Structure 1
Amino acid sequence: MAKIFVYEHFCALANPPQTETLPQSLLTEGRAMRDAIVEDLARIPGIAILSGDSSDADDIREQVKRADWSLIIAPETDGILFRLSELVESSGGRLLSPSLQAIFLCGGKDKLARRIDPDIPTPDERPDVYPQVWKPYDGAGSVDTFLVPDAQAAQLLIDRGYGELYRTEFVPGLAASISFLVGPEIILPLKACRQILSEDGRFQYLGGEVPLETNLEQRAIQLGIKAIRWLLAEAPFVGYIGIDLILGERDVLIEINPRLTTSYIGLRQLTESNLAEAMWKIAEGKATEVKWKPGRVRFQSNGQFEIS
């Protein structure tokens, strides 16, 4: 029987509470992802799930050593995902999520834009014209992200202590995401999603809708495949990975999320297959087909969804 250790950072911190400042939105989102993937893994014959209920490093090492695979769900913020994945690799574990080197290459929005293949378009950095987008260099969940329409708004943010944020041009278009299941010889694109963001200039992630129209989905897959191939050439990995894009007059890559993303919540509702089983089999090097249902799913970051 194969054992898979599933660790979600905020759920582990909340059991028992390790901090009084635990962000509830990220806890809710993390719990929704964890519950979805655990439910799907539990339906796979011959799979045993090892729980990640403790954030203690020694407890994590013990579970990693017992497991055949370890799936880490955590934000990139403050190097959290990197440190947890490093703990897995240093304990002799196998990651069922992107490798330490892949996480490093995707980390830091400024560094990714400079490292990535120049044929993969990204927003221009620190543009001389407005509007701009300001965000943390290693943020997650749209925390401290701002649409900055003009120099006056920029000065107000600087006065509030946000002057050191990463700055890029604002690229108009459809906010979208595309996720992939990756194995030693396989790159399987899943359905592209429209991202639902707040309209208050803060780009708060509220959820998504899947699928996209066919032509938009093909554009998302095309750009996403380029990014995945670049990353694999630099740092081989297996597992689930998500890519955020803008599809418009100019399609651009916004960031690569080297982890399970909230889109999984909607994607799993639109398939006849078990996405967790497909992820595991592809990581093992086994060719797997994912069958999709007709219809549309609108999902929220808290795990709720509607099917139409």
Structure 2
Amino acid sequence: MRAWTTWPCMRSITGMISTSSFINNGEIYLKILLLEYITAGGFNDAPLPDSLLREGMLMRDALLRDFGAVAQVEITTTFDARLDEPKPQAQHKMQSYAVHTNTHPTEIWQKLLSECDAALVVAPETDGILHHLTQSLETAPIVNLGCNAASVKLTASKLATSRVLQQSGITTIPSYKADTFDCALAADNSLNGYVVKPNDGAGCENTWYFEDSSALNHWLQSNAEVLFKFLIQPYQTGLAASFSMLCKQGKAWVLACNEQKIEIDRTYSHLKYSGSYVNALARHYADFNELAQRIAETIPGLNGYVGVDVIIEDGVIYIVEINPRITTSYIGLQQSLHYNPAELILGLVNEDFSLPKHLTTHAVEVHVNA
């Protein structure tokens, strides 16, 4: 297989994508491995996590739709054999392979990588899953369309990310290690309660809300054996939001300013995410864009699509976390922008990349609950 840099470059029909290419039956293709970990077989020997499965399927289908619509792209993907095989839309070029129980998905993916030219992986940061997969991409002779391994490792840790951002003068929500947290000292530190979440968690999975330090202390005492995995934050009131951006070599381009649909389930004391309103907060574009540039400069290994969760209160934007991968808001991007976001991601290979001037910012609601 020839290395990316040795292949002749070409300009796509859209004029946006400059990609390396090869010839197949007289036509030019770029073969891309697209993997959404949960639906692609990452849990083939375990029960599929219901809370993340629907989000994963929606993101996978949006990616297959968008990348499949690029004329010169051929998609390779895998799917958990317990799920229906993804169906390509008319004229889309796609090959999909089932991952069965008692097989090793990483071995299958490694083989498919050797047959592709580029790859984009969506996976949870939990337990280093996304980091390890990204390392595999970096050792293969392909182009990684996502963030590099170092930035994935950093942003997978909410504590480490918060410290790095604070050193650059970027406002974050204070975070504390759960296994060294002193409820007695913190009793009066939060008027609005506390949030407990995994340091490397994805979404609202295993994220808890406690109204006061007494309730928090009870949970801490009941979960002493797993506290090293968790962090504690004072609950920050305000507007739950996010922005979707493209990054490359310390630069950022904001695509969408989103409102997050997050609520507190007080019956079970946890936070629940049910979707977003993509580009419903376009009025915050200038502030988000300035913040995006500072984040990209602080973590220059961020590349491709990146999602940043924030809370806005009294004109202050608090960073909650950085997601070094495709996020749920991607699902509504094409409809909001009236432009194929896959072409923008691929367009980042151009040295002179810039966003098209005619992108729209229509508000689009994304539902993730059935």
Report the TM-score, using the length of structure 2 for normalisation. 0.75
- Report SS of the residue matched to 2:270: coil
Matched, 1:289 2:315: no
Q: How far apart, in 2, do the equivalents of 1:161 and 1:242 lie? A: 30
- The alpha carbon displacement at 1:212 in A equals 3.2
- Report SS of the residue matched to 2:114: helix
1:187 aligned partner: 252
The superposition leaves residues 128-172 of structure 1 with CA deviations (integer Å, 9 ceiling, x where unpaired) of: 212222111100121111222212211221243167120122221
Q: How far apart, in 1, do the equivalents of 2:44 and 2:318 lie? A: 38
1:134 aligned partner: 196
Q: How far apart, in 2, do the equivalents of 1:147 and 1:25 lie? A: 18
Q: How far apart, in 2, do the equivalents of 1:183 and 1:280 lie? A: 12
More strand by share: 2
Which of 111-120 and 245-254 deviates more?
Answer: 111-120
- Report SS of the residue matched to 2:290: helix
**Which 5+ residue runs of structure 2 have no aligned equivalent?**
1-28, 80-98, 177-184
Equivalent residue in structure 1 for 2:65, among 15, 32, 39: 39
The superposition leaves residues 224-256 of structure 1 with CA deviations (integer Å, 9 ceiling, x where unpaired) of: 321122111xx3x43111101111123111111
Q: How far apart, in 1, do the equivalents of 2:308 and 2:357 lie? A: 19
Kept after mapping to 2: 8 A contact 1:183/1:284 = no
CA 1:10–1:245 in structure 2 vs 1: closer, same or farther (change >3 Å)? Answer: same
- The alpha carbon displacement at 1:100 in A equals 0.5
Q: How far apart, in 2, do the equivalents of 1:147 and 1:12 lie? A: 32
Equivalent residue in structure 1 for 2:261, among 196, 217, 235: 196
2:235 aligned partner: 170
**Which 5+ residue runs of structure 1 have no aligned equivalent?**
none
CA 1:238–1:295 in structure 2 vs 1: closer, same or farther (change >3 Å)? Answer: closer
1:11 aligned partner: 39
CA 1:213–1:100 in structure 2 vs 1: closer, same or farther (change >3 Å)? Answer: closer
2:153 aligned partner: 104
CA 1:282–1:8 in structure 2 vs 1: closer, same or farther (change >3 Å)? Answer: same
- Report SS of the residue matched to 1:70: strand
- The alpha carbon displacement at 1:290 in A equals 6.2
CA 1:212–1:177 in structure 2 vs 1: closer, same or farther (change >3 Å)? Answer: same
Q: How far apart, in 2, do the equivalents of 1:242 and 1:85 lie? A: 17
Matched, 1:57 2:106: yes
Kept after mapping to 2: 8 A contact 1:134/1:168 = yes
Q: How far apart, in 1, do the equivalents of 2:110 and 2:45 lie? A: 22
How is 1:1-308 mapped onto 2 (pairs within 5 angstroms)? 1-13=29-41, 18-53=44-79, 54=99, 56-116=105-165, 117-126=167-176, 128=186, 129-130=189-190, 131-161=193-223, 164=227, 165-184=230-249, 187-200=252-265, 201-232=269-300, 235=301, 237-249=302-314, 250-285=316-351, 286-289=353-356, 291-293=358-360, 295-301=362-368
Higher Cα radius of gyration: 2
Which of 121-130 and 84-93 deviates more?
Answer: 121-130
Q: How far apart, in 2, do the equivalents of 1:184 and 1:296 lie? A: 29
Which residue identity does 1:204 align to in structure 2? K
Which residue identity does 1:47 align to in structure 2? V
- The alpha carbon displacement at 1:273 in A equals 1.1
Q: How far apart, in 2, do the equivalents of 1:19 and 1:160 lie? A: 29
- Report SS of the residue matched to 2:243: strand
Which residue identity does 2:261 align to in structure 1? I
CA 1:223–1:185 in structure 2 vs 1: closer, same or farther (change >3 Å)? Answer: closer
Q: How far apart, in 1, do the equivalents of 2:212 and 2:112 lie? A: 51
Q: How far apart, in 1, do the equivalents of 2:357 and 2:264 lie? A: 34
Which residue identity does 1:240 align to in structure 2? Y
Kept after mapping to 1: 8 A contact 2:258/2:281 = no
Which of 198-207 and 164-173 deviates more?
Answer: 198-207
Kept after mapping to 1: 8 A contact 2:282/2:361 = no
Aligned length: 298
Which of 100-109 and 253-262 deviates more?
Answer: 100-109
Which of 245-254 and 276-285 deviates more?
Answer: 276-285
Q: How far apart, in 1, do the equivalents of 2:216 and 2:139 lie? A: 43
Identical residues among aligned pairs (%): 28
Which residue identity does 2:272 align to in structure 1? Q
Kept after mapping to 1: 8 A contact 2:250/2:293 = no
Kept after mapping to 1: 8 A contact 2:251/2:297 = no
